[in-house]
A and B are shown apart, each in its own frame.
Chain A
């Protein structure tokens, strides 16, 4: 189980780094969501503002934009490296057929001669698919600087 989960999360990171955004989105369940709160210890996405709070529909809009020929904030495109560590698997947390995975994320982003480093704690609720494999029921990233001052962000963590 652990090896399968690691393979899945590493694939997710690689899809983002290779800018295969549509494939990334398709890792999410149809009712899945991606959340990066703008404050620490948020309990609910509706308790305040979020850096990202995307259901599949918003995700699709955002990712179509990343492929748009006139997305100025991605000219040149960001180069990223997502690294996951400290992976902990909590099989008791989710419901039937679900598993909660905690990990630490480091993301390097390079664009316009500038390198930026982000760090955060991730939680993935993975759902075991009928035919095997996983889908992401939700992914939450709590950045260490979530309520800090940001520069433009275009690509997901």
Chain B
């Protein structure tokens, strides 16, 4: 393709379609890493993954290896996992507890807040050379924590986290406020998997109400019921109606609200099945919530959204109780990390049900995820072929009357959320974000 100036980039995104190069061009991908992932606030994890001083986890952020650690002062720090001397990674364990990080190459040592703590035989360096902070582990330019969620921004400039999240902050609150103690905890480990498709294909999929009855047809039994995707409080993989009375339910899908906010964030209302919780465990939960929140309890307990996507890199799924970090690896490969969240103070039975729900639907063998990943990979392979150069997102176009760059609200199986993401993509890529 031609040089990627603004005109070429704008040529990839039409009002109701995107060009296949949007998903398949390595040059576009490299620019995205710089202009989107290099500027947006990205999720790193949750501070409960490092509860005690010296605790750390290693991960990657926009392809860069990083360490998230808790220092002896109780603060969380986020450093690039690269020795300031010759560049070796100073830590390769996925998680653990360390007094200090020591480079394997020449033994340079760092405190758990990244400060340079010494180099062996320092006398051969000029006096004072190692002092002054130049040889600390480099900090990720910006880090911020909101209600335990740890965010990073690879750019020193741009909107702060508060501005970046905007109205989506309330979508984080909606998850955390469901806990009687007002906190969530990432204490179940993670699922990690990768699939052979461009990161944007998953982004567009997560708020797509047009696909479940087709992509996930195999999770529906002959009698039209589906296994319960979300925690059944009696800890059974109960079955719920998904496709039975197909026509009626399709209308219900069309009734669901969808929408978005600035910077490409989108959301979708809770699915029509699985509504209404009752029983003794739910009663205990309600009592715990009322004790904490008083008159606000019913509002705090209500699950309004199915999932909320924080463009370009993570999402919350409410009933399954997890966050999903989606890290691009290459133009045709993406790696997911699923982190389940425990609602602190809620009955243990609810947590057990949530764990089972995550196992059933979102593990690498998950009955929902495996079909999604298959379809995304087929998209990527299909898009390698010429012929139809465009990928169409025209559904609901005629109903759209809002500016895609601000907040908007739509309905049902419209593809407005994907169009909203595409508008944000252009803003990032052509310098208006």
Contact = CB atoms under 8 A, between A and B. Distances in A.
B195 A65 contact: no
Interface string B206-228: 00000000010111010000010
B221 A38 contact: no
B365 A49 contact: no
Interface stretch (B250-258, B371-379, B391-399): B371-379
Nearest to A68: B218
A132 interface: no
Given A61-B227, A73-B371, A152-B370, 17 more contacts: A49-B358, A49-B363, A51-B365, A57-B237, A58-B360, A61-B239, A61-B360, A65-B219, A72-B218, A72-B378, A73-B374, A149-B193, A150-B192, A150-B193, A151-B193, A151-B364, A152-B364
B364 to A, nearest CB: 4
A154 B363 CA distance: 11
A71 B189 contact: no
- Residues of A in contact with B, size category: 20 to 34
B183 to A, nearest CB: 19
A151 B237 CA distance: 24
B174 interface: no
Given A51-B363, A57-B236, A72-B215, A154 B370 contact: yes
Given A72-B215, A72-B218, A152-B374, A49 B364 contact: no
Contacts of B236: 57
A149 B335 contact: yes
Contacts, number: 106
A77 B360 CA distance: 20
A50 interface: yes
26 contacts: A38-B191, A39-B189, A46-B355, A48-B187, A49-B189, A49-B340, A49-B355, A49-B363, A50-B359, A51-B359, A53-B356, A58-B360, A61-B219, A64-B221, A65-B367, A71-B218, A72-B218, A72-B375, A73-B373, A73-B374, A149-B193, A152-B193, A152-B370, A153-B363, A153-B364, A153-B370
A90 interface: no
Contacts of B359: 49-53
B77 interface: no
B156 interface: no
Interface string A29-58: 000000010110000001111111101011
